């Protein structure tokens, strides 16, 4: 009986397959095309900093592609993102900062952008776009910029610093925290010693190592994450936070902690970050739609209000919270022009920065 049942079922299945095979060939082609398109539009992959996955940053994309999932994966630092793409990691968008952009291009990891497909490009100042133009082509769309400066617990110190050199003030001994980055501290040391950070000689590099080593008696710790430095300043353990980001100031003021964000005489340090489309991206059309959503006025206004960062889209200032704009002086062109922005460096320069920083940290 079992064999008879299976035999009958086989006949039925054969008939179904035969009828399916006799269908309209055009219809079959259409079905095949539809099958091919579905997975292509089902997911957009974005390699991102944690915190930028908030739906307000890509609401326009969600409305435009309601059936598409945006799949975020995260990196903790630029070196990690770059290394991962070098190993063949597949993503449709990547969000590094400008000092790494040249390396992405030199290694063929990103494709030149079609500027005609970028709806908000005219609202991004050329001074920022210039960072994304490499070899005469636009490879990265700036999205956010921000400051790195000195954050002070005003209730803990008698003297408010006015210079990066004031990090060495003995008054702050044991209560200073600086960012754990060889490149960052190379720039700080250069500014204090009056060097061009991106054209230092071997002798000047040695002087920077010596200067940074002399800071160690003032240091409580090196910080690596903004939540960490927020906690250290809020607790009162850290009085002077070097290389603090704007969101640190915003969070601490929301908690009622008495802090001030200064403008050092040598200038604040600054960064520009933005999006590129990897050369191996599988969903390029979706990537352009996401870029247009992220650089829209609504998304960049939310960026200012939520994180206190400068938005690449100039129109966002008009709708941003005026207190936030004033607090962080986001519309103060004088400060922006005097800011020392990170620049692209060669692998050899980066190796020197990292090696010298390891020497500083290992010193007694």
- Cβ distance 288 to 124 under 8 Å? no
Is the pLDDT reported for residue 257 higher than 70? yes
Instruction: For 271-291, write each residue's pLDDT tens digit.
Output: 999 999 999 999 999 999 999
The lowest-confidence range among 28-32, 93-97, 133-137, 238-242 is 28-32
- Cβ distance 187 to 269 under 8 Å? yes
Is the pLDDT reported for residue 224 higher than 50? yes
Q: Does domain 44-145+271-331 have CATH number 3.40.50.2000?
A: no
Span 20-43, average pLDDT: 47
Find tokens 């590129």 and name the residue.
Answer: 276
Is the pLDDT reported for residue 37 higher than 80? no
Instruction: For 164-190, write each residue's pLDDT tens digit.
Output: 999 999 999 999 999 999 999 999 999
Structure tokens at 228: 């960490």
Among the four given CATH numbers 3.90.180.10, 3.40.47.10, 3.40.190.10, 1.20.140.10, the one describing domain 148-269+344-362:
3.40.190.10
Is the pLDDT reported for residue 77 higher than 80? yes
Is the pLDDT reported for residue 124 higher than 80? yes
**Which residues are CB-contacts of 193 (< 8 A; sequence separation ≥ 6)?**
204, 207, 208, 211
Of the candidates 146, 152, 181, 174, which has an alpha carbon nearest to the alpha carbon of residue 164? 152
Q: What is the per-residue pLDDT for 73? A: 97
Q: Pick 358 or 329 by higher pLDDT.
A: 358
Q: What is the per-residue pLDDT for 328? A: 81
Domain(s) labelled CATH 3.40.190.10 in the chain stretch across 44-145+271-331, 148-269+344-362
- Cβ distance 106 to 88 under 8 Å? no
- Cβ distance 237 to 53 under 8 Å? no
Is the pLDDT reported for residue 9 higher than 50? no
Span 318-328, average pLDDT: 89
Band of the pLDDT at 292, cuts 50, 70, 90? very high
Task: For 348-359, give the DSSP string.
Answer: HHHHHHHHHHHH
Find tokens 């133009």 and name the residue.
Answer: 133
Span 4-32, average pLDDT: 39
User: At residue 190, what are phi and psi to the nearest 5 degrees?
Assistant: -65, -45
Of the candidates 41, 54, 119, 84, which has an alpha carbon nearest to the alpha carbon of residue 295? 119
- Cβ distance 314 to 126 under 8 Å? no
Please give, one letter per residue, the 3-state secondary structure of 228-273.
HHHHHHHHCCCCEEEEECHHHHHHHHHCCCCEEECCCCCCCEEEEE
Q: Is 122 exposed, middle or buried (0-12, 13-18, 19+ CB in 10 A)?
A: exposed
* Average predicted confidence (pLDDT) for the chain: 89
Q: What is the pTM of this model?
A: 0.77
Band of the pLDDT at 40, cuts 50, 70, 90? low
Span 314-343, average pLDDT: 87
Is the pLDDT reported for residue 33 higher than 60? no
Q: Pick 292 or 20 by higher pLDDT.
A: 292
**Which residues are CB-contacts of 183 (< 8 A; sequence separation ≥ 6)?**
99, 342, 345, 350, 353, 354
**Which residues are CB-contacts of 61 (< 8 A; sequence separation ≥ 6)?**
44, 68, 70, 286, 289, 290, 292, 293, 294
Query: How many CA within 13 A on the CB side of residue 304?
Result: 28
Give the number of other Cβ atoms within 10 Å of residue 261's Cβ: 23
């Amino acid at each position: 009986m079992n064999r008879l049942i299976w035999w009958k079922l086989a006949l039925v299945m054969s008939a179904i397959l035969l009828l399916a095979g006799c269908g309209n060939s055009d219809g079959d082609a259409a079905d095949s095309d539809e099958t091919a398109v579905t997975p292509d539009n089902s997911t957009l992959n974005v390699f991102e900093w944690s915190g930028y996955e908030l739906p307000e940053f890509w609401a326009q994309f969600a409305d435009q592609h309601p059936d598409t999932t945006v799949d975020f994966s995260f990196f903790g630092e630029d070196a990690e993102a770059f290394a991962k793409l070098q190993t063949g990691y597949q993503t449709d968008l990547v969000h590094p900062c400008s000092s790494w952009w040249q390396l992405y291009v030199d290694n063929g990891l990103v494709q030149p952008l079609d500027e005609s497909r970028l709806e908000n490009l005219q609202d991004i100042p050329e001074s920022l776009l210039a960072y994304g133009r490499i070899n005469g082509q636009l490879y990265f769309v700036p999205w956010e910029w921000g400051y790195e400066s000195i954050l002070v617990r005003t209730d803990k110190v008698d003297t408010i610093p006015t210079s990066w050199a004031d990090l060495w003030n003995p008054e702050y001994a044991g209560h200073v925290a600086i960012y754990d980055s060889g490149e960052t501290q190379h720039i700080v040391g250069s500014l204090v010693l009056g060097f061009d950070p991106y054209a230092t000689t071997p002798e000047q590099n040695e002087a920077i190592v010596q200067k940074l080593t002399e800071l160690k008696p003032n240091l409580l710790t090196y910080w690596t994450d903004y939540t960490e430095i927020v906690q250290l300043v809020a607790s009162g353990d850290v009085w002077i936070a070097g290389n603090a980001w704007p969101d640190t100031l915003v969070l601490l003021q929301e908690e009622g902690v008495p802090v001030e964000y200064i403008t050092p005489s040598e200038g604040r340090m600054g960064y520009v970050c933005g999006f590129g489309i990897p050369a191996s991206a599988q969903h390029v059309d979706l990537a352009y739609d996401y870029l247009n959503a992220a650089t829209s006025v609504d998304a960049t206004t939310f960026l200012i209000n939520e994180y206190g960062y400068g938005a690449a889209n100039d129109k966002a200032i008009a709708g941003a919270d005026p207190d936030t704009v004033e607090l962080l002086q986001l519309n103060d062109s004088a400060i922006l022009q005097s800011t020392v922005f990170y620049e692209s460096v060669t692998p050899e320069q980066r190796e020197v920065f990292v090696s010298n920083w390891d020497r500083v940290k290992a010193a007694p």
